[in-house]
Amino acid sequence: MKAPRPRFGLTPFAFLSPAAAVLGVFFLGAVAQVVYYSFTRYTAFSGPDFVGLENYRRLLASERFWACLGNSAIYLLVTPAIIALSLAAAIVVESLGSRGRWLRLALFLPVITPTIVAGVAWRLILNEDSGLLNSALAMVGLDPVPWLSRHPWTLVSAMFVTLWKGFGFYMMVFLAGLLAVPRELREAAALDGASRLGVFRAVTLPALAPSIVLVFIVSSISALKVFDELFVLAKGSPIAQQTAVPLLYRIAFEEGDYGLASALGLSIFLFILSFSLVNLRLSARSEEAAS
Protein backbone atom coordinates (compact mmCIF):
# COMPACT_ATOMS: atom_id res chain seq x y z
CA MET A 1 0.00 0.00 0.00
CA LYS A 2 1.21 3.44 -0.88
CA ALA A 3 1.91 5.72 2.06
CA PRO A 4 -0.40 8.73 2.15
CA ARG A 5 1.14 11.92 0.84
CA PRO A 6 2.11 14.05 3.84
CA ARG A 7 -0.24 16.96 4.44
CA PHE A 8 1.39 20.25 5.16
CA GLY A 9 -1.53 22.51 6.01
CA LEU A 10 -0.28 25.97 6.91
CA THR A 11 3.34 24.89 7.48
CA PRO A 12 4.63 26.05 4.05
CA PHE A 13 3.16 29.50 4.61
CA ALA A 14 4.78 29.77 8.04
CA PHE A 15 8.16 29.04 6.43
CA LEU A 16 7.49 31.56 3.69
CA SER A 17 6.12 34.35 5.88
CA PRO A 18 9.36 36.22 6.79
CA ALA A 19 10.46 36.36 3.15
CA ALA A 20 6.95 37.30 2.05
CA ALA A 21 6.84 40.15 4.57
CA VAL A 22 10.16 41.65 3.43
CA LEU A 23 9.73 41.18 -0.32
CA GLY A 24 6.01 42.00 -0.18
CA VAL A 25 6.54 45.33 1.57
CA PHE A 26 9.85 46.49 0.12
CA PHE A 27 9.56 45.23 -3.43
CA LEU A 28 6.02 44.31 -4.51
CA GLY A 29 4.44 47.02 -2.36
CA ALA A 30 7.07 49.48 -3.53
CA VAL A 31 6.40 48.62 -7.18
CA ALA A 32 2.70 49.38 -6.73
CA GLN A 33 3.59 52.67 -5.05
CA VAL A 34 6.14 53.74 -7.64
CA VAL A 35 3.48 53.30 -10.33
CA TYR A 36 0.99 55.39 -8.32
CA TYR A 37 3.52 58.09 -7.39
CA SER A 38 4.53 58.47 -11.02
CA PHE A 39 1.03 59.83 -11.71
CA THR A 40 1.11 62.31 -8.82
CA ARG A 41 2.65 65.62 -7.87
CA TYR A 42 4.61 64.52 -4.84
CA THR A 43 7.48 66.41 -3.26
CA ALA A 44 9.36 66.31 0.02
CA PHE A 45 6.83 68.89 1.28
CA SER A 46 3.44 68.03 -0.21
CA GLY A 47 1.34 65.46 -1.97
CA PRO A 48 0.85 62.99 -3.42
CA ASP A 49 -1.84 64.63 -5.59
CA PHE A 50 -2.99 62.91 -8.75
CA VAL A 51 -1.87 64.77 -11.90
CA GLY A 52 -2.21 62.11 -14.61
CA LEU A 53 0.62 62.00 -17.11
CA GLU A 54 2.16 65.33 -16.08
CA ASN A 55 5.41 63.77 -14.77
CA TYR A 56 5.92 61.76 -17.94
CA ARG A 57 5.29 64.86 -20.04
CA ARG A 58 7.90 66.79 -18.02
CA LEU A 59 10.34 63.91 -18.25
CA LEU A 60 10.07 63.52 -22.01
CA ALA A 61 10.42 67.28 -22.44
CA SER A 62 13.54 67.53 -20.30
CA GLU A 63 16.91 67.63 -21.98
CA ARG A 64 18.78 66.00 -19.13
CA PHE A 65 16.52 62.92 -19.29
CA TRP A 66 17.52 62.23 -22.88
CA ALA A 67 21.15 63.11 -22.22
CA CYS A 68 21.35 60.70 -19.27
CA LEU A 69 19.51 57.97 -21.16
CA GLY A 70 21.97 58.43 -24.02
CA ASN A 71 24.87 58.17 -21.59
CA SER A 72 23.37 54.98 -20.15
CA ALA A 73 23.29 53.60 -23.70
CA ILE A 74 26.97 54.54 -24.10
CA TYR A 75 27.67 52.86 -20.78
CA LEU A 76 26.41 49.59 -22.25
CA LEU A 77 29.64 49.45 -24.25
CA VAL A 78 31.27 48.15 -21.08
CA THR A 79 29.42 44.84 -21.60
CA PRO A 80 31.41 43.48 -24.59
CA ALA A 81 34.63 44.48 -22.82
CA ILE A 82 33.53 42.59 -19.70
CA ILE A 83 32.69 39.49 -21.74
CA ALA A 84 36.01 39.53 -23.61
CA LEU A 85 38.14 40.11 -20.51
CA SER A 86 36.33 37.68 -18.21
CA LEU A 87 36.28 34.96 -20.88
CA ALA A 88 40.01 35.40 -21.52
CA ALA A 89 40.67 35.32 -17.76
CA ALA A 90 38.58 32.15 -17.36
CA ILE A 91 40.52 30.43 -20.16
CA VAL A 92 43.83 31.38 -18.54
CA VAL A 93 42.70 30.22 -15.08
CA GLU A 94 41.35 26.95 -16.47
CA SER A 95 44.47 26.14 -18.48
CA LEU A 96 46.65 26.72 -15.40
CA GLY A 97 44.72 23.92 -13.69
CA SER A 98 45.31 23.64 -9.97
CA ARG A 99 48.07 26.25 -10.24
CA GLY A 100 45.38 28.72 -11.31
CA ARG A 101 44.00 28.93 -7.81
CA TRP A 102 46.12 31.92 -6.75
CA LEU A 103 45.11 33.77 -9.90
CA ARG A 104 41.43 33.05 -9.21
CA LEU A 105 41.79 34.64 -5.78
CA ALA A 106 43.75 37.61 -7.15
CA LEU A 107 41.10 38.26 -9.79
CA PHE A 108 38.44 38.28 -7.09
CA LEU A 109 40.10 41.12 -5.16
CA PRO A 110 38.41 43.82 -7.29
CA VAL A 111 35.03 42.10 -6.75
CA ILE A 112 35.24 42.37 -2.97
CA THR A 113 36.69 45.91 -3.06
CA PRO A 114 33.95 48.40 -2.11
CA THR A 115 33.24 50.71 -5.06
CA ILE A 116 34.12 53.77 -3.00
CA VAL A 117 37.60 52.32 -2.39
CA ALA A 118 37.96 51.27 -6.02
CA GLY A 119 36.92 54.78 -7.03
CA VAL A 120 39.48 56.43 -4.76
CA ALA A 121 42.22 54.14 -6.10
CA TRP A 122 41.26 54.74 -9.72
CA ARG A 123 41.03 58.51 -9.24
CA LEU A 124 44.67 58.29 -8.26
CA ILE A 125 45.57 56.31 -11.37
CA LEU A 126 43.46 58.52 -13.63
CA ASN A 127 44.64 61.82 -12.10
CA GLU A 128 45.21 64.18 -14.99
CA ASP A 129 48.50 65.73 -13.83
CA SER A 130 50.24 63.02 -11.85
CA GLY A 131 48.28 59.81 -12.54
CA LEU A 132 49.92 56.61 -13.76
CA LEU A 133 47.85 56.40 -16.92
CA ASN A 134 48.61 59.88 -18.23
CA SER A 135 52.28 59.44 -17.28
CA ALA A 136 52.34 56.23 -19.31
CA LEU A 137 50.65 58.01 -22.22
CA ALA A 138 53.23 60.80 -22.01
CA MET A 139 56.01 58.23 -22.17
CA VAL A 140 54.78 57.00 -25.55
CA GLY A 141 54.34 60.59 -26.68
CA LEU A 142 50.57 60.98 -26.32
CA ASP A 143 48.70 63.98 -24.92
CA PRO A 144 47.21 63.71 -21.42
CA VAL A 145 43.54 62.67 -21.36
CA PRO A 146 41.09 64.61 -19.14
CA TRP A 147 39.83 61.38 -17.51
CA LEU A 148 38.08 63.06 -14.58
CA SER A 149 36.89 66.38 -15.93
CA ARG A 150 35.71 66.19 -19.52
CA HIS A 151 32.73 64.42 -21.08
CA PRO A 152 32.77 61.63 -22.29
CA TRP A 153 36.06 60.72 -20.58
CA THR A 154 34.39 60.76 -17.14
CA LEU A 155 32.01 58.08 -18.44
CA VAL A 156 34.94 56.09 -19.81
CA SER A 157 36.70 56.31 -16.42
CA ALA A 158 33.62 55.03 -14.61
CA MET A 159 33.39 52.23 -17.18
CA PHE A 160 37.01 51.30 -16.39
CA VAL A 161 36.05 50.84 -12.76
CA THR A 162 32.91 48.84 -13.64
CA LEU A 163 35.00 46.59 -15.88
CA TRP A 164 37.73 46.23 -13.26
CA LYS A 165 35.28 45.46 -10.45
CA GLY A 166 33.13 43.11 -12.51
CA PHE A 167 35.30 40.87 -14.64
CA GLY A 168 36.49 38.63 -11.77
CA PHE A 169 32.90 37.73 -10.97
CA TYR A 170 31.93 36.91 -14.55
CA MET A 171 35.21 35.02 -14.93
CA MET A 172 33.88 32.57 -12.33
CA VAL A 173 30.69 32.14 -14.37
CA PHE A 174 32.71 31.31 -17.47
CA LEU A 175 34.99 29.06 -15.45
CA ALA A 176 31.93 27.10 -14.32
CA GLY A 177 30.93 26.80 -17.98
CA LEU A 178 34.43 25.73 -19.06
CA LEU A 179 34.71 23.11 -16.33
CA ALA A 180 31.38 21.67 -17.43
CA VAL A 181 32.69 20.94 -20.95
CA PRO A 182 33.56 17.23 -20.90
CA ARG A 183 37.30 16.76 -21.27
CA GLU A 184 36.76 13.72 -23.53
CA LEU A 185 34.88 15.87 -26.00
CA ARG A 186 37.85 18.19 -26.42
CA GLU A 187 40.32 15.34 -26.56
CA ALA A 188 38.23 13.53 -29.15
CA ALA A 189 38.17 16.63 -31.32
CA ALA A 190 41.94 16.99 -30.93
CA LEU A 191 42.41 13.32 -31.88
CA ASP A 192 40.36 13.92 -35.01
CA GLY A 193 43.05 16.39 -35.97
CA ALA A 194 41.41 19.67 -34.94
CA SER A 195 43.81 22.48 -34.07
CA ARG A 196 43.64 24.21 -30.68
CA LEU A 197 41.73 27.09 -32.20
CA GLY A 198 39.53 24.56 -34.01
CA VAL A 199 38.71 22.75 -30.78
CA PHE A 200 37.92 26.06 -29.12
CA ARG A 201 35.62 27.14 -31.95
CA ALA A 202 33.92 23.79 -32.50
CA VAL A 203 33.59 22.48 -28.94
CA THR A 204 34.31 25.02 -26.23
CA LEU A 205 32.64 28.14 -27.61
CA PRO A 206 29.28 26.46 -28.42
CA ALA A 207 29.29 24.90 -24.93
CA LEU A 208 29.83 28.38 -23.47
CA ALA A 209 27.05 30.03 -25.49
CA PRO A 210 24.50 29.92 -22.63
CA SER A 211 27.05 31.45 -20.23
CA ILE A 212 27.83 34.21 -22.72
CA VAL A 213 24.14 35.06 -23.10
CA LEU A 214 23.69 35.12 -19.32
CA VAL A 215 26.75 37.26 -18.69
CA PHE A 216 25.64 39.60 -21.46
CA ILE A 217 22.21 40.07 -19.93
CA VAL A 218 23.33 40.30 -16.30
CA SER A 219 26.23 42.66 -16.96
CA SER A 220 24.21 44.91 -19.26
CA ILE A 221 21.46 45.19 -16.64
CA SER A 222 24.01 46.19 -14.04
CA ALA A 223 25.53 48.69 -16.49
CA LEU A 224 22.10 50.31 -16.84
CA LYS A 225 21.78 50.45 -13.02
CA VAL A 226 25.19 51.99 -12.42
CA PHE A 227 25.41 54.64 -9.69
CA ASP A 228 28.38 54.15 -7.33
CA GLU A 229 31.12 54.46 -9.95
CA LEU A 230 29.76 57.77 -11.22
CA PHE A 231 29.12 59.04 -7.71
CA VAL A 232 32.78 58.51 -6.90
CA LEU A 233 34.44 59.44 -10.20
CA ALA A 234 32.15 61.97 -11.85
CA LYS A 235 30.58 63.69 -8.87
CA GLY A 236 31.74 67.10 -10.00
CA SER A 237 30.49 66.84 -13.56
CA PRO A 238 27.07 68.18 -14.65
CA ILE A 239 24.21 65.72 -14.25
CA ALA A 240 23.54 65.73 -18.01
CA GLN A 241 26.95 64.09 -18.41
CA GLN A 242 26.03 61.22 -16.07
CA THR A 243 23.62 58.29 -16.43
CA ALA A 244 20.02 57.45 -15.53
CA VAL A 245 20.30 56.33 -11.89
CA PRO A 246 22.45 59.31 -10.80
CA LEU A 247 19.74 61.49 -12.38
CA LEU A 248 17.09 59.65 -10.35
CA TYR A 249 19.12 60.20 -7.17
CA ARG A 250 19.47 63.90 -8.00
CA ILE A 251 15.75 64.40 -8.71
CA ALA A 252 14.50 62.37 -5.73
CA PHE A 253 16.95 63.09 -2.94
CA GLU A 254 18.49 66.45 -3.82
CA GLU A 255 15.57 68.15 -5.55
CA GLY A 256 12.91 66.29 -3.54
CA ASP A 257 10.64 65.67 -6.54
CA TYR A 258 9.35 62.17 -5.75
CA GLY A 259 6.68 62.13 -8.46
CA LEU A 260 9.11 62.92 -11.26
CA ALA A 261 11.69 60.51 -9.82
CA SER A 262 9.08 57.73 -9.77
CA ALA A 263 8.26 58.33 -13.42
CA LEU A 264 11.98 58.18 -14.16
CA GLY A 265 12.33 54.96 -12.12
CA LEU A 266 9.60 53.29 -14.16
CA SER A 267 11.16 54.53 -17.39
CA ILE A 268 14.47 52.99 -16.36
CA PHE A 269 12.67 49.73 -15.61
CA LEU A 270 10.96 49.71 -19.01
CA PHE A 271 14.31 50.48 -20.68
CA ILE A 272 16.01 47.57 -18.87
CA LEU A 273 13.09 45.22 -19.52
CA SER A 274 12.83 45.94 -23.24
CA PHE A 275 16.60 45.74 -23.68
CA SER A 276 16.71 42.34 -21.96
CA LEU A 277 13.74 41.00 -23.93
CA VAL A 278 15.31 42.03 -27.23
CA ASN A 279 18.54 40.31 -26.19
CA LEU A 280 16.77 37.11 -25.21
CA ARG A 281 14.87 37.12 -28.51
CA LEU A 282 18.04 37.70 -30.52
CA SER A 283 20.01 35.02 -28.69
CA ALA A 284 17.19 32.51 -29.13
CA ARG A 285 17.12 33.29 -32.84
CA SER A 286 20.89 32.90 -33.25
CA GLU A 287 20.73 29.57 -31.42
CA GLU A 288 18.05 28.40 -33.85
CA ALA A 289 20.20 29.51 -36.76
CA ALA A 290 23.20 27.65 -35.35
CA SER A 291 21.39 24.35 -34.90
Partner 1 sequence: MIERRPAWLGISTWALAVVLAIVSIGPAAWLLAIALQPPGTDLREIGLSATFDNFAAAWRDGSLAGPLVNSVVVTFARALLNVLIAALAAYPLARMRFPARNLIFVLLLCTMMVPEQVVLVPMFRIVVGMGLYDTLAAVVLPFSVTAFGIFLCRQAFMAIPASLEEAARIDGAGPLRIWWHVMLPLAAPTLATLGLFSIIGAWSDLLWPLIVLQSRDAMTLPVAVNALQGTFATNPRAVYAGAVLSLVPILVIFALLQRFMKPEMFGGAVKG
Indicate whether 112 belongs to the interface with partner 1 (CB under 8 A).
yes
What's the CA gap between 40 and 262, in Å, rounded?
Answer: 9
Piece of 74-82, 103-111, 148-156, 283-291 that binds partner 1 (CB under 8 A): 103-111
What's the CA gap between 217 and 271, in Å, rounded?
Answer: 13
Indicate whether 234 belongs to the interface with partner 1 (CB under 8 A).
no
Closest CA to 59 of 226, 257, 231: 257
Closest approach, Cβ 252 to partner 1, in A, equals 5
Is residue 166 within 8 Å of residue 115, measured between CB atoms? Answer: no
What's the CA gap between 280 and 284, in Å, rounded?
Answer: 6
Is residue 247 within 8 Å of residue 68, measured between CB atoms? Answer: yes
What's the CA gap between 235 and 228, in Å, rounded?
Answer: 10
Q: Are strands 40-41 and 49-50 parallel, antiparallel or unpaired?
A: antiparallel
Among positions 41, 64, 151, 225, the unique one binding partner 1 when judged by CB under 8 A: 225
Closest CA to 263 of 244, 289, 278: 244
Which residues ranging from 146 to 175 are in contact with partner 1 (CB under 8 A)? 164, 168-169, 172-173, 175
CB-wise, 19 or 289, nearer to partner 1?
19
CB-wise, 155 or 264, nearer to partner 1?
264
Piece of 31-39, 56-64, 142-150, 283-291 that binds partner 1 (CB under 8 A): 31-39
CB-wise, 103 or 145, nearer to partner 1?
103
Indicate whether 227 belongs to the interface with partner 1 (CB under 8 A).
yes
Number of residues that bind partner 1 (CB under 8 A): 91
CB-wise, 241 or 246, nearer to partner 1?
246
Which residues ranging from 203 to 222 are in contact with partner 1 (CB under 8 A)? 211, 214-215, 218, 221
